[in-house]
Chains A and B, each alone.
Chain A
Amino acid sequence: MKKSLSWWLLFTVLMSSMPLLISTRSLRIFIFANFIAIFAMSWDILSGYTGYISFGHPFLIGIAGYTSAILTHQFATPLYISMPIAILLTMVAGSLFFFPALRTRGTYFALVTLAFMEVTYHLVQVVRPDVTGGSRGLTGLPLLVTGAVQNYYVSLFAMLFIGLGLWALARSGLGTVLSAIRMDEDAVKSAGLNTSKFKLFAFTLSALVAGIGGVLYTHYLGSISPRGMFDINFLFTILIAALIGGEHSIVGPILGAYFLTFLLEFSRPYIPGSWRYLCYGMIALIVYMYAPRGLFTIVNAVENRIRGKNLRGEEYDSQTA
């Protein structure tokens, strides 16, 4: 615990000093990485922990983004009112996710969430396009803060705050129950625990995180559109950030988000943009198939190797516990 906390501290200090070290252009890359990390963590606390795979996370993020965008753009609501409303509404939407989860599991649950995302994609364009901006979306939204450095700190501290919070939670008894639900829901029920309550908690928490990320992201970009939000490619980026980094670990999605974003940026001179999804996808597919627990375990293994320990057998237990 103490060792991990010092890692968090080191990470915080390193990331906070980033604006001193790199250019504004590169800073924008870090901002994007921070947001992807938030979204991937939101996915992780729901799908990585409870095992209910969500293919509809852009739905939650989009609800947050659109609510705040519409409130500020059409009703001139100030940000400090629109953002909490948007986050609250996202949590309500997260509970909506919950109803299918009471009855369906696995494959069918993933499908329902995917259907949620696609339905919203269509509805946003068709129902009241004068309010939602139709297929072109809304632009010129108020920004929370201006300037790359300020935006960087907002995204970084949101990410660190959420990351630390979720990480601490995942290590508590609550995290253990959620992991147990993933392994064997019926066994948890037999142990006398009300799994529905825990699932509802995980869903609402995931929605809360997605909501915070969604509003910050929208008011960082200053625009929102159905194609950019309720899109399979957006879902894909979130999903593979979590999977490459290692689901069921909270730290993994952060690693994955950074890894992906840097891969994209540093390969830009060598690999043209159109190859991006192809490379992402191939790497994700290979990592997912051959190291299903992601980079996180690889990093852990390397760390242990350096320390001269051989924890192969215990690694898995210590993480799941």
Chain B
Amino acid sequence: MSGIIIQGFLISGLYALVAVGFTMIFSVGRVLNLAYGIYIMLGGYAYYTLAQVLEFSKAISLLGAIVVGVLFGVLTYFGIVKRLLNNPIAVEISTLILAVVMQAVVILIYSPAPRAIWPIVPGISRIHNVIISWNIFFAMITSWVVLGALLIFIRKTQVGRAILAVSMDTKGALLSGIDPERINILTWALSGALGALAGVFFATYTQLEPSMWVSPLITAVAVVIIGGIGSIVGSLVAAHIVGFMETITTTVIAPELRGVFTLLLIIIILVILPKGLLGQEET
């Protein structure tokens, strides 16, 4: 029982970090970025390359991974999303194609074989016979810190409030002197950074492989649908629902069914409540 609670909180923290970058894009741009999983994968590979191949320090490697995430986030925005902004379905199709293309690129560079990535913080502890990896614990703490900082940034700073304004009403924001273009670029950069950061932890939690982008993407989608759009706190709550559900499934039913219930939840919620569990009316 204590195992489920501890494990649940650890995984949920990671999931919250995975999902929040995806949620931001959906709130501000009203598009689902199916290439979001790619930032997670690229973050993991960038960290791997810097830390384990080029042997930079962990901090520099982490920073490098985030820079890669920012670059790809902004590139996705300029290359694809900006050109198709009035057509969310076209954005979805193009970002899915982009994701498969980037997966092919990674396979070309790194081969399809999975790679082990060393934990950022090595070591494990035992509490009540529950094994806690310090790495996942560190991921959870980072996730809480980052989400807290993000919340403060959005609520308290001028730029953050501008992001909020654009997510509520682009035209209204434009009328009050906010440049939605700049806000969009900023959001995509932030989303890429968050994705890449989450990717480093996600890769140390699972393993580094070219197809690793699918499962965090589904988690992010589930979190958005359960948590509704435009709310960081909602995403946090939703990440815990998904995280605990997966932990309970893994320990009580069968580890292989871990992803199935998340997917079933997506289907059921969308069929019963097309706007998401806590969703807002689409404008």
Q: Which residues of A contact B (CB under 8 A)?
A: 51, 53, 55, 99-100, 103-104, 106-108, 110-112, 115-116, 118-119, 122-123, 125-126, 232-233, 236, 239-240, 243, 274-278, 281-282, 284-285, 288-289, 292
Contact = CB atoms under 8 A, between A and B. Distances in A.
Interface in B46-93: 80, 83-84, 88-90, 92-93
11 contacts: A100-B270, A104-B270, A116-B267, A118-B218, A125-B256, A126-B254, A232-B100, A274-B108, A275-B108, A277-B103, A281-B97
Contacts of A240: 97
B19 interface: no
A103 B256 contact: no
A94 to B, nearest CB: 16
Given A106-B88, A119-B263, A111 B32 contact: yes
B75 to A, nearest CB: 13
A111 B221 contact: yes
Contact of B267 (A100, A125, A276, A288): A100
A233 B83 contact: no
Contacts, number: 108
Contacts of A274: 104, 107-108
A289 B98 contact: no
Given A111-B221, A274-B107, A281-B98, A103 B267 contact: no
Contacts of A232: 100, 211, 214
Interface residues on B, range: 35 or more
The 4 closest A-B pairs by CB, nearest first: A281-B101, A278-B104, A277-B104, A119-B263
A118 B88 CA distance: 22
A21 B113 CA distance: 41
Contacts of A106: 88-89
Contacts of B172: none
Given A123-B260, A236-B100, A285-B98, 5 more contacts: A103-B271, A122-B263, A285-B101, A288-B90, A292-B90
Contacts of A118: 214, 218, 259, 263
Contact of B260 (A108, A112, A122, A289): A122
B267 A112 contact: yes
A279 B105 CA distance: 10
B93 A53 contact: yes
A122 B100 contact: no
Contacts of A276: 104
Nearest to A279: B104
Contacts of B11: none
B142 interface: no
Contacts of B90: 288, 292
A57 to B, nearest CB: 13
Nearest to B211: A232
A119 B264 contact: yes
Nearest to A231: B211
Q: Which of B83, B104, B257 has the most CB of A within 10 A?
A: B104
B108 A278 contact: yes
Contacts of B207: none
Contacts of B250: none
B274 interface: yes
A55 B221 CA distance: 14
A53 B90 CA distance: 10
A197 B214 CA distance: 34
Contacts of B88: 106-107
A236 B103 CA distance: 12
A224 B88 CA distance: 34
A107 B101 contact: no
